[in-house]
Amino acid sequence: MELKKYQDVIQKNQPRKKWVKNLVIAFVSGGSIGLLAQFLKVMLMNVFMLEASIASSYVIVCIILIACVTTGLGWYEKLAQYCGAGLFIPISGFANSLTSAALEGKSEGFIYGIGSRIFSLAGSVITYGIVSAALFGIIRLLLFGGQ
């Protein structure tokens, strides 16, 4: 079997990766979500007179809500195809992964469908987030006495 020949031909026919374009779009779209979040926070603090920390929490909830609703409407995936990392890095990506998995699991019912599948994509994030928190907590305790 001519492995080298196949590798050369298939490699040559790969579509060109648009690194710069994707980077710029991801930067702008991710930054736009940051801007939106900041705008919401300022609005919540000045119009609704909330404290900064509470306003921050509400902003996260708002972003999650927008991501879930747009996922259900089928708009999120079209936007994500264009924006790439700009959309999946912020909390919107996490919300979308849960919502899309839950929508998919609907046909198998609440327990085996929605309940089992909702974390199928986000499971790794949660698992390694918790493991890292525990690990770094232990390291901090050993090195700095928990200070």
Partner 1 sequence: MILTFKEVYLHSYGCAVSEKVAKQLSSAKIDHIFKDDLGEECSFEKGERAYLSKACDAAIRKSTLQMNELDCAIGADLNNQLSASHYFIRDYEIPFIGMYAACASSALLFNQAAMMIEAKQAHNILLFTSSNYGAASKQFRYPNTYGEQKKESATTTLTGAGAIILSNIPSTICIKEGFIGRVIDWHYNNVADMGGAMAPAVYQNFIEYLNQTKYQIDDFDCIATGDLSKVGFHSFAQLLMQDHINVDQRFMDCGLHVFDMQKNDVFSGGSGPACSMVVLICELLDKLEKGIYHRILLLASGALFNPIAIYQKESIPCICHGIVLERCIS
Q: Do 71 and 100 touch, CB atoms closer than 8 A?
A: yes
DSSP state of 89: S
Q: Hey, is 17 helix, strand or coil?
A: coil
Answer for which of 10, 49, 142, 143 binds partner 1 (CB under 8 A) is 10
Residue 111 contacts partner 1 per CB under 8 A: no
| Alpha helices (H) in the chain, listed in sequence order | 3-12, 19-46, 52-73, 76-83, 85-88, 91-105, 116-117, 123-144
Residue 81 contacts partner 1 per CB under 8 A: yes
| Nearer to partner 1 (CB atom), residue 53 or residue 107 | 107
| Nearer to partner 1 (CB atom), residue 55 or residue 63 | 63
For residue 111, which of 98, 121, 102 has the smallest C-alpha distance?
Answer: 102
Residue 80 contacts partner 1 per CB under 8 A: yes
For binding to partner 1 (CB under 8 A), which residues are involved?
1, 3, 5-7, 9-10, 12-15, 22, 71-72, 74, 76-77, 79-81, 83-85, 87-88, 93, 96-97, 99-101, 103-104, 107, 121
